[in-house]
Amino acid sequence: MKRILSALLFVFLFLLTAKAQSVKYYGEVIPGGLIVAKAPECEIVTLNDDTLKHDSRGWFVFGFDRDAKGTFLLKVKFKNNRVAFKRFTLPHRKYRIQRINHLKKKYVTPPKRDYKRIAQERKIKQEKKSLIGKIDSAFYSVGFVRPVKGGRISSPFGSQRILNGVPKAPHNGLDIALPPGSPVYAMTDGIVRLVAKNFYFSGNFVLLDHGQGLSSYYLHLRKTFVKEGQFVHKGQKIGEVGSTGRATGPHLHWSVMWYKNRIDPGTVLKIKLK
Ligand SMILES: [Zn+2]
């Protein structure tokens, strides 16, 4: 009897440690995809040659840029020295070409007199962006919500843009058209890094830091309801839809970044954390 009990105890302990050393992944392996993972008892996590941040519960996050290609190797080393490997091979992803005409000329090729203002705004944005990626906390581990209710997707993520016939950078966010004044919510927990007022291209916008290099942007807002440095919760109202900056009509431009990688917000919404 004693033997059976000790054998059972052994099996139980084995299962317990095996469970503690497993890695759970959530997300889509595609260019623009975001992967959230949990590996309790992990010590070091690397993706190719980069070390990733993780919190004390083992949460970590990484993503693939819009134009990412090939295979990424993830290595998770646990506190007991065991190592788990996982390979992520990205499929090819095709993006639409989107032509937008009738944009005010000043938004396609800004006049010289606006250069200084645009450069100043870029500097402010860079400064605030540089604060992101310094936090080990996984604020995003509470999960994600859509930042608006309803609306129509007026421009998908990643499309190659031709504005008034001039080829421009690809669309790095998701545009959702809604009536002005519609509430805009934080996609997950985070710290407000920037509340921009009337920027040339982006209008009024909010930049949130979700920890470990994950951030989100909410552009062209009519109003904002948050302050820089404030902690916001998933689903908290941070602003209202508007058409400030370069916008052809009221809509939310929502973008998600992991460090410098452009993430498809649509892939974020498919992540259901258990
Ligand atoms: Zn947009």
Where do we find the tokens 């892939």?
267
Using alpha carbons, list the distances in angstroms from residue 269 to 66, 158, 182, 254: 17, 16, 19, 12
Q: DSSP assignment of the chain, as one string?
A: -HHHHHHHHHHHHHHHHHHHT--EEEE--STT-EEEEE-TTEEEEEETTEEEP--TT-EEEEE--TT--SEEEEEEEETTS-EEEEEEEPPP----EEEE-S--HHHHS--GGGHHHHHHHHHHHHHHHTTTT-----GGGG----SSSS-EEEE-TT-EEEETTEE-PPP-SEEEE--TT-EEE-SSSEEEEEEEEEETTTEEEEEEE-STTEEEEEEEEEEE---TT-EE-TT-EEEEEB--SS-SSSEEEEEEEETTEEE-HHHHHT----
The Å distance, Cα 272 to ligand 1 centre, comes to: 25
The Å distance, Cα 114 to ligand 1 centre, comes to: 21
pLDDT in tens, the chain (274 residues): 666 666 655 555 455 555 557 899 999 999 999 999 999 999 999 999 999 999 999 999 999 999 999 999 999 999 999 999 999 999 999 999 988 888 777 777 888 999 999 999 999 999 999 999 999 999 999 999 999 999 999 999 999 988 888 888 899 999 999 999 999 999 999 999 999 999 999 999 999 999 999 999 999 999 999 999 999 999 999 999 999 998 889 999 999 999 999 999 999 999 999 7
The Å distance, Cα 136 to ligand 1 centre, comes to: 29
Of 34, 27, 24, nearest in space to 59 by CA: 24
The Å distance, Cα 169 to ligand 1 centre, comes to: 11
| Cβ partners under 8 Å of residue 143, min gap 6 | 188, 234, 271, 272, 273
The Å distance, Cα 129 to ligand 1 centre, comes to: 19
The Å distance, Cα 256 to ligand 1 centre, comes to: 12
The Å distance, Cα 176 to ligand 1 centre, comes to: 8
- Cβ–Cβ < 8 Å for 76, 54: no
The Å distance, Cα 89 to ligand 1 centre, comes to: 28
- Which residues are within 5 Å of ligand 1 (an ion), measured at CB? 173, 175, 253
Phi, psi of 55 (to 5 degrees): -95, 180
pLDDT of residue 10: 54
Domains of the chain: 2-89 (2.60.40), 97-269 (2.70.70.10)
The Å distance, Cα 161 to ligand 1 centre, comes to: 10
| pTM score above 0.85 | yes
User: Amino acid letter at 107?
Assistant: Y
Where do we find the tokens 């509430």?
183
d(CA 218, CA 205): 5
d(CA 66, CA 263): 7
Using alpha carbons, list the distances in angstroms from residue 44 to 36, 77, 81: 16, 5, 10
d(CA 271, CA 27): 5
Of 130, 121, 136, nearest in space to 210 by CA: 136
